[in-house]
Amino acid sequence: MQTAPDTTNPWLQGLNPAQREAVQTLSGPLLVLSGAGTGKTRVLTSRLAELVATGTAKPWNILAVTFTNKAAREMKMRVSSMVGPMAEQVWLGTFHALAARMLRRHADLVGLRSDFTILDMDDQTRLLKQLMEVEGLDAKRWPARQLGGVIQRWKDRGLTPDKVGIADAGDLANGRMRDLYQAYQARLLALNAVDFGDLLLHVLTIFQAHPDVLAEYHNRITHIMVDEYQDTNVAQYLWLRLLTGPDRNLCCVGDDDQSIYGWRGAEVGNILKFESDFPGASIVRLEENYRSTGHILAAASGIIARNESRLGKTLYTSADEGEKLRVNGYWDGSDEARSVSSQIESMQSAGQDLASIAVLVRAGFQTREFEERFIAIGLPYRVVGTKFYERAEIRDALAYLRLIAQPADDLAFERIINVPKRGLGTASLQAIHIQARASGKPLMAAALDLVQSDELRPAARNALTGFCQDIKRWRDAMGGMHHTDLAKMVLDESGYTGMWQADRSPEAEGRLENLTELVTAMQDFDTLQGFLEHISLVMDGDTDSDQGEVTLMTLHAAKGLEFDTVFLPGWEEGIFPSQRTIDESGAIGLEEERRLAYVGITRARRQLYLSFAGSRRIHGQWQSSIPSRFVQELPAETVIEDIAQGLGGGIPFGRAAQAQLAGGGEFGDGWQTERSGGGYGPGWRRMAARRQEPEKPAFVSKASANGFAVGDRVFHQKFGMGNVIHVDGDKLEIAFDKAGHKKVVAGFVSKP
Ligand code: ATP
Ligand code: MG
């Protein structure tokens, strides 16, 4: 008779010995530290099942922090299949969701009622502004959003106002930043409200001040599990440490190579010091990657090996080598979008499910070109996050343009009448509505009538008069100028761009990039009307499909996910690695960008397509771009060397591509996979046009007297190896592999 081994439990089936060890280590601190696709998330899910199945813990004794909702659902399903509806009782979700649940139970301990409101960013800023007025702080010198950002970062670090150090506050808000923070917290309490950061912070305060409450949690929650531990910030870390009871049943999984939220206060150090935080912790390393083919894994490993600050791990796969990565260079962004789309279409025709395909971009604005193309050819897609034309800043900008082109557009009027703030709040809008109803006119016309009367208070009347005059002036200008110039003018003069420029929150840069991208999108249309019509069609085009949808999202959002086929477009210096990150954080920032490349590559199971464009339109200006340094960092043996062959072979493709770009010569066939219209597509025309305009060089190549050109690989005594990205006389701008971007005098570098 055969005794059933415990491996017949469905959640244990197929696990390798190291994974099984992790799943079956149910007590004491446990860290699973290993590379992408090694089954960390799977281990967490299985371990949750194991905890319940063995009776080690009841569902309500377990707290599991997941990074994605998908993982949360999957875990819940697993447990439901074993224990039924009790699965609902697992403490399962993101840090914020879990903290909110706790705070509702003990709100009174921090002076809140349990029906407190969670404020969004806008409310938060408005509140801060009011307080600043009371304090007499100049909102121009100290934009409220910036100070809001400071408070948020303090909260990420677990700092209540009394814990903020003098040095932390510095001269922010004229040295009164700590007072402002204090006042802000007091005001939130008075409103029975919290902001996002408060969710964790208040719970920390409660745990620290009320040992009895904490003890109650220690009784109740006996086992804690955390996914993506490398991206926890200080507040989350403290929360976990406090929640972990005397039995220390804390299981964390993560990968230091996938820490990509440093810019938001995540501390990769948390995972690195797990052993010293919890002496005697069991450490499990998983080395087999089950997700990707050999070539994909080798490419990812090759890139991440260039980072200096990492633990270093072994990763292997028993899977086939699979297909090599394809690296494609395109004329420009729209060529890239076109080609990627038609490749996806062919895959779909060949029977591949669209849901198994993803396009991952570095920055949010990059989704726009793909979305337009997908809509144009009717390819079903979903955007994780918000679709381009539905993003708030794009809707605002479009509302301005609509109101200018279509004066009777009441929705547009309402949307922007007080954005940016011009003192036309609810009361003014109400008066305009009444006027409109009485006269049967659109809001804009009613507003014009209203400013002639004395219905409004003088301040509001002045503001509304100004607004009406602005709209009229822009409308008059419409006929005489190009619509893209009009758009730029409107966004500037209305103060809309300025509003986001003054904003120091991490999202603001992305919003400004989106606005720039909007102007770029308008270039494709002859008139403003034509463009607006296109938008209304785009917004309408809900592509419902039963065959799944292509996923379009940022690399950051893709963490933890996997797809059979992944496209990684826009691998160009400045976009990826992002210029801003390098400017702000130098070599450290570059390493975070490289981790992001690692995350991107390791999302792919079978096929990976990377690409870059030779030029991009930014604010309607053509700008040449050079391939990302990460392209060159791909181990040559993992990549199909289309490009090198197309260019005559012999040269490593990265270099060849750069030389090609720098030279601006004829492209081989391997270069451009799709050329619209018989070889003389728009790319060629633009190229020809640029050739006649020497002040706007096509692919910048200012070979200088000392013989350096853009794209050259150079060596600097102090900064090491790098790529020349700009030449200005004898000054070179160099993207160093480790030291970031620097300007150096040509005499100090040599060609290796
Ligand atoms: P990431 O670092 O990207 O979050 P991960 O380490 O969490 O990755 P998982 O997502 O858990 O990895 O697993 C990657 C893929 O490998 C999944 O499809 C998973 O089902 C599969 N997998 C994990 N372990 C095994 C195994 N022992 N046998 C077969 N497939 C496995
Ligand atoms: Mg995972």
- Please state the atom number of ligand 1 nearest to the C-alpha of residue 36: 2
Among 73, 77, 41, 90, CA closest to 229: 41
Least confident of 125-129, 337-341, 489-493, 642-646: 642-646
Residue 603 has pLDDT above 70, yes or no: yes
Burial 428-455 (b: 16+ CB within 10 A, else e): bbebbeebbeeeeebbbbbbbebbeeee
Here the contacts of 388-395 (C-beta below 8 Å, separation 24 or greater) are: 388/514, 388/517, 389/535, 389/538, 389/539, 390/539, 391/364, 391/511, 391/514, 392/511, 393/500, 393/511, 393/514, 393/515, 394/514, 394/515, 394/518
- Please state the atom number of ligand 1 nearest to the C-alpha of residue 286: 6
Residue 705 has pLDDT above 70, yes or no: no
Asked if residue 258 lies in contact with residue 230, where contact means CB atoms within 8 angstroms, the answer is yes
**Of all protein residues, whose CA lies closest to atom 28 belonging to ligand 1?**
14
| Catalytic residue ranges | 40-41, 227-228, 258, 603
Share of the chain above pLDDT 90, in %: 55
Among 23, 31, 42, 70, which residue has the most ligand 1 atoms within 8 Å of its CB, making it the best to mutate? 42
Does one domain contain both 26 and 43?
Answer: yes
- Please state the atom number of ligand 1 nearest to the C-alpha of residue 599: 3
Tell me which residue range forms the domain holding 136.
117-191
Asked if residue 282 lies in contact with residue 29, where contact means CB atoms within 8 angstroms, the answer is yes
SS3 for 276-340 is: HHCCCCEEECCCECCCCCHHHHHHHHHHHCCCCCCCCCCCECCCCCCCCEEEEEEEEHHHHHHHH
Residue 699 has pLDDT above 50, yes or no: no
**Of all protein residues, whose CA lies closest to atom 16 belonging to ligand 1?**
290
Domain-located, residue 517: no
Does one domain contain both 362 and 396?
Answer: no
Q: Distance, CA 39 to ligand 2 centroid (Å)?
A: 7
Tens digit of each residue's pLDDT (9 = 90 or more) over 232-270:
999 999 999 999 999 999 999 999 999 998 888 888 888
pLDDT at residue 641, rounded to an integer: 62
Q: Distance, CA 650 to ligand 1 centroid (Å)?
A: 38
Q: Distance, CA 533 to ligand 2 centroid (Å)?
A: 43
pLDDT at residue 659, rounded to an integer: 37
Which one of 157, 191, 225 terminates a domain? 191
Residues 598-608 have a mean pLDDT of 97
Which one of 495, 512, 529 terminates a domain? 512
Among 257, 290, 315, 563, which residue has the most ligand 1 atoms within 8 Å of its CB, making it the best to mutate? 290
- Beta bridge mates, 93: 65
**Of all protein residues, whose CA lies closest to atom 21 belonging to ligand 1?**
290
* Local confidence band at 60 (pLDDT 50, 70, 90 cut-offs): very high
DSSP 8-class letter at 667: P
Question: What pTM does this model have?
Answer: 0.77
Closest ligand to the CA of 604: 1
**Of all protein residues, whose CA lies closest to atom 14 belonging to ligand 1?**
37
Residue 607: which H helix or E strand, with range? Answer: strand 604-618
Distance separating alpha carbons of residues 587 and 719, to the nearest angstrom: 10
Residue 594 has pLDDT above 90, yes or no: yes
Distance separating alpha carbons of residues 622 and 645, to the nearest angstrom: 28
Q: Distance, CA 278 to ligand 2 centroid (Å)?
A: 23
Residues 121-138 have a mean pLDDT of 85
Q: Distance, CA 37 to ligand 2 centroid (Å)?
A: 7
Residue 715 has pLDDT above 60, yes or no: yes
Does one domain contain both 414 and 362?
Answer: no
Residues 287-297 have a mean pLDDT of 96
Domain-located, residue 684: yes
Distance separating alpha carbons of residues 417 and 395, to the nearest angstrom: 13
Spatial neighbors of 234 by CB under 8 A, at least 6 apart, are 156, 157, 158, 265, 267
Which one of 688, 721, 737 terminates a domain? 688
- Beta bridge mates, 727: 732
Share of the chain above pLDDT 70, in %: 88
Least confident of 214-223, 385-394, 539-548: 539-548
Distance separating alpha carbons of residues 86 and 666, to the nearest angstrom: 66
Among 381, 284, 366, CA closest to 20: 284
**Of all protein residues, whose CA lies closest to atom 15 belonging to ligand 1?**
291
Residue 652 has pLDDT above 50, yes or no: no
Among 337, 372, 241, 254, CA closest to 567: 337
Does one domain contain both 459 and 475?
Answer: yes
Residues 194-200 have a mean pLDDT of 92
* Local confidence band at 642 (pLDDT 50, 70, 90 cut-offs): low
Q: Distance, CA 64 to ligand 2 centroid (Å)?
A: 13
Residue 479 has pLDDT above 80, yes or no: yes
- Rounded (10°) angle between helices 196-209 and 95-106: 50
Domain-located, residue 55: yes
300-304, 388-392, 405-409, 420-424: which has the highest mean pLDDT? 300-304
Does one domain contain both 557 and 581?
Answer: yes
Does one domain contain both 581 and 728?
Answer: no
* Local confidence band at 656 (pLDDT 50, 70, 90 cut-offs): very low
pLDDT at residue 631, rounded to an integer: 95
Tens digit of each residue's pLDDT (9 = 90 or more) over 325-378:
999 999 899 999 999 999 999 999 999 999 999 999 999 999 999 999 998 898
Residues 632-646 have a mean pLDDT of 74
Q: How far is CA 345 from the centre of its chain?
A: 26
Residues 134-154 have a mean pLDDT of 88
CATH number, residue 236: 3.40.50.300
CATH number, residue 150: 1.10.10.160
Among 291, 562, 598, which residue has the most ligand 1 atoms within 8 Å of its CB, making it the best to mutate? 291
Here the contacts of 728-737 (C-beta below 8 Å, separation 24 or greater) are: 728/702, 729/704, 730/704, 730/705, 730/706, 732/704, 732/708, 735/573, 735/582, 735/629, 737/306, 737/590, 737/629
Domain-located, residue 38: yes
CATH number, residue 706: 2.30.30
Residue 105 has pLDDT above 60, yes or no: yes
pLDDT at residue 700, rounded to an integer: 29
Does one domain contain both 79 and 215?
Answer: yes
Q: Tokens 């996938």, residue?
A: 258
How many domains would you assign to the chain? 5
pLDDT at residue 653, rounded to an integer: 37
Closest ligand to the CA of 36: 1
- Please state the atom number of ligand 1 nearest to the C-alpha of residue 16: 27
Q: Tokens 């197309």, residue?
A: 646
Distance separating alpha carbons of residues 196 and 170, to the nearest angstrom: 24
Closest ligand to the CA of 255: 1
pLDDT at residue 540, rounded to an integer: 60
Residue 322 has pLDDT above 90, yes or no: yes
Residue 393 has pLDDT above 60, yes or no: yes
Closest ligand to the CA of 291: 1
Domain-located, residue 18: yes
- Please state the atom number of ligand 1 nearest to the C-alpha of residue 45: 11
Quote the mean pLDDT of the chain. Answer: 84
Pocket of ligand 1 (CB under 6 A): 14-16, 19, 36-42, 255, 258, 290-291, 560, 562, 602
Q: Distance, CA 319 to ligand 1 centroid (Å)?
A: 13
Domain-located, residue 359: yes
pLDDT at residue 226, rounded to an integer: 97
Does one domain contain both 481 and 588?
Answer: no
Does one domain contain both 565 and 670?
Answer: yes
The sign of the dihedral angle between the CA atoms of 291, 296, 298, 300 is negative
* Local confidence band at 732 (pLDDT 50, 70, 90 cut-offs): confident
Distance separating alpha carbons of residues 739 and 752, to the nearest angstrom: 17
Q: What are phi and psi of 221, to 5 degrees?
A: -100, 110
Whether omega before 697 lies within 30 degrees of 0, making that bond cis, reads no
Domain-located, residue 535: no
Distance separating alpha carbons of residues 95 and 681, to the nearest angstrom: 51
Asked if residue 360 lies in contact with residue 566, where contact means CB atoms within 8 angstroms, the answer is yes
pLDDT at residue 184, rounded to an integer: 95
Q: Reduced to 3 states, what is the DSSP secondary structure of residue 715?
A: strand
Does one domain contain both 359 and 419?
Answer: no
pLDDT at residue 310, rounded to an integer: 86
- Beta bridge mates, 254: 33
Among 20, 41, 596, which residue has the most ligand 1 atoms within 8 Å of its CB, making it the best to mutate? 41
Tens digit of each residue's pLDDT (9 = 90 or more) over 1-47:
444 455 568 888 899 999 999 999 999 999 999 999 999 999 998 99
The one-letter code for the residue type at 530 is G
Does one domain contain both 232 and 161?
Answer: no
Does one domain contain both 592 and 619?
Answer: yes
Tens digit of each residue's pLDDT (9 = 90 or more) over 557-581:
899 899 999 999 999 999 999 998 9
Q: Distance, CA 87 to ligand 1 centroid (Å)?
A: 23
Domain-located, residue 729: yes
- Please state the atom number of ligand 1 nearest to the C-alpha of residue 35: 2
CATH number, residue 408: 1.10.486.10
